[in-house]
Amino acid sequence: MDLNKKNIIEVDGVVIERLPDSKYIVELDVNGVKHRVEGYASGKMRMNYIDMIEGDKVKIQLTPYDKNKGRIVYRYRTYESKSIRKN
C-alpha cells in the first residue's frame, strides 16, 4: 500500500453551497462538531459528468496536512437528487 493512501481521512458530509470551477462547501459532522471545508470534484466524477447540488450527501477525502480542503470522491444516491447531467 502506498504511504500517501494511509494518511487519507475519509469523512461523510453534506454539500452546503456550490462554488465556481467544480468546487463546493461541504459541512462535516465529526463527533458532534460541525466543520465546513472546501471540496472539489475528483477526476472520475468530472469525467462522468456527476454534478452535486445543495443537500447531497458526499464522501470527502482530507489529508492530515490541510484539513480545510478535500477531494469529493463519492456522491451517495438519493431519490430526490437529479443532478446527473446528460448531453
Number of domains in the chain: 1
Residue 84: the pLDDT is 55
pLDDT band at 14 (very low <50, low <70, confident <90, very high): very high
CATH number for the domain harbouring residue 18: 2.40.50.140
Could you tell me if residue 28 is inside a domain? yes
pTM of the model: 0.79
Residue 5: the pLDDT is 67
Q: Tell me the H-state helices in 1-87.
A: 3-6, 43-47
Give 45-77 pLDDT, tens digit per residue.
888 888 899 999 999 999 989 889 999 999 998
Residue 21 has pLDDT above 60, yes or no: yes
Write the CB contacts of 8 (distance below 8 Å, at least 6 apart in sequence): 61, 62, 63
Cell numbers linked to 43: 477526476
Could you tell me if residue 83 is inside a domain? no
Could you tell me if residue 84 is inside a domain? no
Cell numbers linked to 17: 453551497
- The whole domain housing 52 covers 3-75
CA distance 63 to 69: 8
Residue 39: the pLDDT is 94
Going by DSSP bridges, is the β-strand pair 57-62/33-41 parallel, antiparallel, or unpaired? unpaired
